[in-house]
Structure 1
Amino acid sequence: MNASVPFDSHGQVLIVGGGLVGASLAIALDAAGCRATLVEAAAPRTDAQPSYDERNLALARATVNGLDAIGVWPLAAAQATPIRHIHVSRAGEFGSARLDAAHHGVDALGWTLPARELGAALLRRLDTCTQLTRIAPASLTGLTRYEHGWRAEIQTQQGPRHIDAALLVGADGTESFVRAQLGIQADIHDYRQTLFVCTLTPERDPANRAWERFSDDGPIAMLPLAERRCGLVLTVAAAAAAEVGAMDDTDFIALAQRRFGWRLGRLQRPGKRHPYAIRRVAAQRLIASRAVLVGNAAQTVHPIGAQGFNLGLRDALTLAELVAEAADPGSTRLLEQYAARREPDRAGTMAMSHDLVRFACMPQPWLAPLRSLALLAYDRVPPLQRALARRGMGFRGQPPRAVLERLP
């Protein structure tokens, strides 16, 4: 039964958090025939859900495969733009790395999609679920462990309710209430950077190309969008965020032009800017007794390389795959298997994003030749380029089957 009002339930999966990852997990479980309840603080509308915002997501190929497998991609594909070429460079240095989809035998390395459009597709797909109960808007106010699972105290518009579940899933974001209630500590690194995102129109057609460019001031990315628009991702020092946020469009575009260069000609017509503070938050463990963390509740990574949602979706699809094959969704064996399967992908992706931003943006002059040689190696040495392309497309560690079944 797909309901929008709270009820008491037993012996199922309780997902706390209906953002991009939580909603994807709910859909994947429903597609596998598993009963679940989704509790979300925001009303089920794109304008109410904070994660369905103005960011332009770079979706890896594996991510699109997974979204297709659970019936979401057909609802979003018309708004997506394929990425067929990727160019990575460092300002003032000679090395660069290039990836080309045709060279690796695929039609696209990934796709760009506004988060709001993905959110709208997720909501439409949620409306078709038959094994899912949705409770929104509602907030989790308390958790009590009992012999066979967790009892969750939920505050709804109709008053307090409780839900009993065999497995509790925290998909409630970086400041996860579930993680805190489970007593799981998190390692936090403040990059002291702020990300500004907006759309703009370049003089030259981006032609399905994406750019990532590093400098002493931080990374900048340009993602292709429909109608010759681009999604700009500009990182600045946190101390400069207020100044950048207060700039008029002319000054902001001048800053973006200075940081990105002239590969696309003159940049113009910027849309509304949205700032995001950047922190790395990594849960010290993913599981507890009959409980698990996924998505940003488990790890929030630096947006460099656009791995956040891609990594979180692989969390969700792996968990759904294991739950679908288990008699008891909250068993210790299942959760340990989940943690073991996710560790190589999780650790590798977090290390890549963290080390890359440090190595690529450090101002030390002696690093310049090393960075250039590394980029040239990834550009010219076939095994290194294949590894870079495979990881960039989201195929790392032991991926969930859903992301592989549609690989050409």
Structure 2
Amino acid sequence: MNLPASPVDGGVLIVGGGLVGASLAIALDAAGVAATLVEAAAPRADAQPSYDERNLALARATINGLAAIGVWPHAAAQATPIRHIHVSRAGEFGSARIDAAKHGVDALGWTLPARELGTALLRRLDACTRLTRLAPAKLESLEGRAEGWRARIRTADGERVIDAALLVGADGTESFVRAQLGIDAQRHDYEQALFVATVTPERAHANRAFERFSDAGPVALLPLAEGRCGLVLTVPAEAADEVAALDDAGFIALAQSRLGWRLGRLSRPGKRHPYAIHRVAAQRLTGPRAVLVGNAAQTVHPIGAQGFNLGLRDALTLAELVAAAEDPGAPALLDRYAARRAPDREGTMAMSHSLVRLACLEQPLLAPLRSLALLAHDRMAPLQNRLARHGMGFRGEPPRAVLERLP
């Protein structure tokens, strides 16, 4: 924990030390911008892997961005490439396939244990030279001032007062910063519950990912190291308790019925717990000398694995703009940030929402149209190229960092 003797005045205050907040802090430090990062929990690197740990699906653009800010070298050895994606709907004839080689890349994305990304971020944070880290710490209050914000922060060593020219809310779905700024959020309850588990397939996954939709909700299978796969299963909310009570054989039978047998029989399901799924979207991204990033700005349905990917593009876009500005909280800069993020943010949220609502809608008359749409994306090069590009995280005006090729 790094506690300076005096407040960092005129810089950037980041509230929230999760994946997006930490990435923003690193990107700003790499650009030579002074910042303070307020983290609720003390830094902790967990070096103990487990079979059923949580895994992340990282888009191509995300890997490029993490490489650009020096994080990816700490995590690359633990990542598994996704080289092929197969999308289908149960009981319908259409499907769409995306192959990395066909689009001139070695991988469409990578899967990585969340623990490994957290450890990589911590290692890179330790090398930062212009960053002040307060952890564990809690933001107690905010006071708006003409030149920025005054924050009172409770730490283990007592209260700290930080004056900042720019306040960044990276503090998650139920953002305290968003509430203090008076920014409302639109909420949608999908009436679904999410189960995440690790399984072992009978046949080799060969770096293939599968996504399948049905009336009961979407399900996905992601390639992992050592022949394992990450299973992401959604069920109607009213069935969550019943599914949670299933033994391993019952849970596998349910997953197999929803996913099919493309990788043969699944086995060894890890621990699983239900999570209610909601969509939360801030009605605006900025306030006076303040901005929201990551889940504080938007929380999307997890089946598309867009949450961190979208949030990292928030962070890298903001860092790019702040690095080129004299005043990090200038209204023109914040307007530019909101304008640049709009196409990516709105397009990604709309795609995620539409997939879940339309692909899982119990309407037999829609079946031929859904199948034809999947076939079109599979057979028509312009549509497939667009689908692949968006899936890899390239939409709108992305930050320059994500356009860099991997070394």
TM-score by length of 1: 0.97
Task: Report the 3-state secondary structure (helix = DSSP H, G, I; strand = E; otherwise coil) of the residue aligned with 1:355.
Answer: helix
Q: Which position in structure 2 is the counterpart of 1:172?
A: 171
Deviations 1:37-81 (A, max 9, x none): 00011111146xxxxx94321111000000000000000001100
Task: Report the 3-state secondary structure (helix = DSSP H, G, I; strand = E; otherwise coil) of the residue aligned with 2:398.
Answer: coil
User: C-alpha separation between the residues in 2 aligned to 1:54 and 1:245?
Assistant: 17
TM-score by length of 2: 0.97
User: C-alpha separation between the residues in 2 aligned to 1:46 and 1:198?
Assistant: 22
Q: Which position in structure 2 is the counterpart of 1:404?
A: 403
- The RMSD of aligned alpha carbons is 1.3
Q: Which position in structure 2 is the counterpart of 1:302?
A: 301
Q: Which position in structure 2 is the counterpart of 1:45?
A: 44
Q: Is the 8 A contact 1:4 1:136 kept in 2?
A: no
From the superposition, tell whether residues 361 and 133 of structure 1 become closer, same or farther in structure 2 (CA, over 3 Å): same
Deviations 1:107-146 (A, max 9, x none): 0000011111111111111111001000000111110011
Aligned pairs for 1:7-406 within 5 A: 7-46=6-45, 54-406=53-405
Task: Report the 3-state secondary structure (helix = DSSP H, G, I; strand = E; otherwise coil) of the residue aligned with 1:316.
Answer: helix
Residue 158 of structure 1: how far off its partner (Å): 1.4
Deviations 1:15-50 (A, max 9, x none): 000001000000000111110000011111146xxx
Instruction: Output the amino acid matched with 1:202.
Output: P
Q: How many residues align?
A: 402
Task: Report the 3-state secondary structure (helix = DSSP H, G, I; strand = E; otherwise coil) of the residue aligned with 1:263.
Answer: coil
Identity of aligned residues (%): 79
Q: Is the 8 A contact 2:53 2:198 kept in 1?
A: no
User: C-alpha separation between the residues in 2 aligned to 1:63 and 1:4?
Assistant: 31
User: C-alpha separation between the residues in 2 aligned to 1:132 and 1:246?
Assistant: 46
Deviations 1:362-396 (A, max 9, x none): 01100100100000000000000000000001000
Residue 274 of structure 1: how far off its partner (Å): 3.4
Residue 6 of structure 1: how far off its partner (Å): 7.8
User: C-alpha separation between the residues in 1 aligned to 2:234 and 2:5?
Assistant: 42
Instruction: Output the amino acid matched with 2:376.
Output: A
Worse-matched range after superposition: 268-277 or 33-42? 268-277
User: C-alpha separation between the residues in 2 aligned to 1:248 and 1:274?
Assistant: 12
Q: Is the 8 A contact 1:13 1:35 kept in 2?
A: yes
User: C-alpha separation between the residues in 2 aligned to 1:405 and 1:195?
Assistant: 34
Residue 250 of structure 1: how far off its partner (Å): 1.2
Residue 407 of structure 1: how far off its partner (Å): 6.5
> Could you list the runs of 5+ residues in structure 2 that have no partner in the other structure?
47-51
Task: Report the 3-state secondary structure (helix = DSSP H, G, I; strand = E; otherwise coil) of the residue aligned with 1:166.
Answer: strand
User: C-alpha separation between the residues in 2 aligned to 1:78 and 1:230?
Assistant: 17
Instruction: Output the amino acid matched with 1:97.
Output: A
User: C-alpha separation between the residues in 1 aligned to 2:103 and 2:315?
Assistant: 27
Worse-matched range after superposition: 86-95 or 7-16? 7-16
Residue 218 of structure 1: how far off its partner (Å): 0.3
User: C-alpha separation between the residues in 2 aligned to 1:55 and 1:172?
Assistant: 20
User: C-alpha separation between the residues in 2 aligned to 1:32 and 1:372?
Assistant: 47
Residue 5 of structure 1: how far off its partner (Å): 6.3
Moved over 6 A (4+): none
Instruction: Output the amino acid matched with 1:92.
Output: G
Q: Is the 8 A contact 1:54 1:274 kept in 2?
A: no
User: C-alpha separation between the residues in 2 aligned to 1:6 and 1:22?
Assistant: 23
User: C-alpha separation between the residues in 2 aligned to 1:121 and 1:300?
Assistant: 23
Q: Which position in structure 1 is the counterpart of 2:49?
A: none
> Could you list the runs of 5+ residues in structure 1 that have no partner in the other structure?
48-52
Q: Is the 8 A contact 1:5 1:134 kept in 2?
A: no
From the superposition, tell whether residues 135 and 6 of structure 1 become closer, same or farther in structure 2 (CA, over 3 Å): farther
Instruction: Output the amino acid matched with 1:353.
Output: S
Residue 161 of structure 1: how far off its partner (Å): 1.4
From the superposition, tell whether residues 297 and 54 of structure 1 become closer, same or farther in structure 2 (CA, over 3 Å): farther
Deviations 1:324-382 (A, max 9, x none): 00000000010000000000000000000001100100011001001000000000000
Q: Is the 8 A contact 1:5 1:135 kept in 2?
A: no
Residue 4 of structure 1: how far off its partner (Å): 4.9
Task: Report the 3-state secondary structure (helix = DSSP H, G, I; strand = E; otherwise coil) of the residue aligned with 1:10.
Answer: coil
User: C-alpha separation between the residues in 2 aligned to 1:182 and 1:291?
Assistant: 8
Q: Is the 8 A contact 2:111 2:223 kept in 1?
A: yes
User: C-alpha separation between the residues in 1 aligned to 2:396 and 2:53?
Assistant: 31
